Amino acid sequence: MTDLLTNWADWLPQLLKGLGISLQLTGFALALGLPLGLVLALASSARGPALRWPAVALVEIGRGAPALVVLQMVYYGLPSAGLNLSAFLSGAIALGLTTAAYTSEILRAGINAVPQGEVEAGQALGMTRQDILRFVVIPQGVIFAVPALMGFAILIFQATALTFTIAIPELLARAYRIGAATYLYLDVLILAGLVYLAVTIPFGWLVNRAARRLGSHLG
């Protein structure tokens, strides 16, 4: 047991560096994916089929394609089209596209949850359809979607582990590197799992708290 704790103390600084990269990937993916998800949510709810059906098709394709496949397509596929990106940027874009596809449905559900009375109140005030969407529907819809979006952020953080396949030195990649050097794979992977839990469990509590606060506000 003493040897295990000593090894963990030696390995932890490297794993924390990997955790920093995992968190950066998560941040970039959300920064890219959430605005795209909102655009897809609005487009898939549009009245015109010329806008709605392509958006729906993109969402279904994005949700149906495994994140690992999207990651490999961006990293290995784009260079064949003449677009060379760094491993980190490829990972952020791939996870951002996956985020956009999934969060579009979350945001669309939030937008649809806005009471019709709010829209009618805006119409009574003489607001245009665009202004009602911009100042009434979207802000409230995003608020309704916050707990689910926070929960999805945890999944994207966990999905950053997939980027070890393209040599990004994130948390899991550093754990494998230590395991390859020491042959103590189980020990270092247990430590890596504990580091993941140190992030996901507190954030999960925040998600539950946000959901309860929203529920009490709506009640």
- Share above pLDDT 90 across residues of the chain, in percent, rounded to a whole number: 62
At position 100, the amino acid (one-letter code) is A
Indicate whether 4 pLDDT > 60. Answer: yes
Predicted pLDDT at 100: 96
Question: Among residues 27, 68, 7, 15, which one has the least CA distance to residue 193?
Answer: 15
Give the 3-state secondary structure of residue 184: coil
Q: Give the distance between the most distant pair of CA atoms in the chain.
A: 72
- Share above pLDDT 70 across residues of the chain, in percent, rounded to a whole number: 97
Note the pLDDT tens digit of each residue in 128-144: 888 888 888 888 888 88
pTM: 0.90
Confidence label for 215 from pLDDT (cuts 50, 70 and 90): low
Q: What is the DSSP letter of 79?
A: G
Note the pLDDT tens digit of each residue in 64-89: 999 999 999 999 998 888 888 999 99
Structure tokens at 81: 């089209």
What's the CA gap between 185 and 181, in Å, rounded? 9
Average pLDDT over residues 31-50: 91
Note the pLDDT tens digit of each residue in 159-192: 999 999 998 999 999 999 999 999 999 999 999 9
Contact 62, 41 (CB under 8 A): no
Predicted pLDDT at 115: 85
